[in-house]
Homo-oligomer: A and B are copies of this chain.
């Protein structure tokens, strides 16, 4: 009805149609529509009007072929589905990327695979077929094969790293900085103020680079506050793993009075199973979660936790990626630090 020329669905107008209708050459159409010099103001306006009238949209494939740009970036999430189950993280991260990408007319390709090796294959395919102009890597592992790959193939890539992390040089790697180094400062300060002296931490798997970052932060801050580094038990982010690690800690002679968990699930599991563990929370055991979520908010007592702006993190990652992709050199983006949110699991207690 409205569309006069396009006709039935499927009959996409091309710049050739616009050129014919507007009485100019294809080249002029291209210049006009891409805001390039080479056409007079009137001609440009006429061409624009014609394009609108015909309902023209550029063909992504044709553009991609002639510009040698995919017009898309990829996010390959490498994470066990079991762990993904309670990960509100990614949808928020993606929503954050979205805003930045939309501004540049870029699409987002997403792949969710169980491990880094599968992710490497996805990256190889994406880049081999030039489906993406660059990729965002999350959940970096120690000696991550994805990082090796992107460096080798020269894939523009954005990662989140800590101040002290070393990345392979060369390649087209951009980083947004994760100021995780200060993550535990407020936590430990708060726990000390509450009278706690025997602190412990239940960490995520050591393969993750951010676990290592937290290791360093934990070591530094507890050493400076207590004279020696407080203990860490490694777990796997699952409720079972968190419970097992906590049992280990509670069985020690130097039984901790406060435990900091690297994620929300482990902390919530401990709070839920406090009776089975034989502790009152927070009276016998203060609990802090390394990530916030509904699990923390709906636990009773509600769980004190570290909080951060994940949507903003996604935006930061997209921004630094675009800079490498577009060969603009921009400053590294530093994300906001974690905020420590005090809730019921670290309420005041008598010094033990």
Interface residues of A (CB under 8 A from B): 9-10, 12, 55, 57-62, 64-65, 70-72, 77, 81, 84-88, 90-92, 94-95, 98, 107-113, 125-126, 128-131, 152-154, 239, 265, 268-269, 272, 293-295, 297-300, 311
Are the C-beta atoms of B239 and A265 separated by less than 8 Å?
no
**Contacting pair B95 A112 (CB below 8 A):** yes
Q: A111-B98, A130-B59 are in contact. Are A92 and B81 (CB under 8 A)?
A: yes
| A272 closest partner in B (C-beta) | B298
The contact sample of 26 A-B pairs, CB cut-off 8 A, is A57-B128, A59-B65, A59-B129, A60-B129, A60-B130, A61-B65, A61-B130, A64-B64, A65-B65, A72-B109, A72-B131, A81-B92, A81-B311, A84-B92, A84-B95, A88-B88, A90-B91, A91-B91, A91-B112, A94-B112, A98-B112, A108-B111, A109-B109, A239-B294, A268-B294, A269-B298
How far, in whole Å, are A102 and B185 apart by their CA atoms in the complex? 45
User: Which residue of B61, B85, B129, B298 is within 8 Å of A58 (Cβ)?
Assistant: B129
Which of B85, B130, B152, B300 is A12 in contact with, Cβ under 8 Å?
Answer: B130
Which residues in B have their C-beta under 8 angstroms from that of A70?
Answer: 60-61
| Inter-chain contact B154/A9, CB cutoff 8 Å | yes
Contact B91 A294 (CB under 8 A): no
- Cross-chain contact of A298 among B9, B90, B107, B239 (Cβ < 8 A): B239
Q: With a 10 A CB-CB cut-off, give which of A60, A86, A293 has the most chain B CB atoms.
A: A60
Contact A110 B129 (CB under 8 A): no
From known contacts A95-B112, A98-B113, infer whether A10 and B84 are also in contact, taking CB-CB under 8 Å.
no
**Chain B residues in 8 Å Cβ range of A113:** 98
User: Are A81 and B95 neighbours in the complex by a CB distance under 8 Å?
Assistant: yes
Question: Out of B62, B109, B299, which one reaches A108, CB within 8 Å?
Answer: B109
Using CB atoms, name the residue of chain B closest to A85: B88
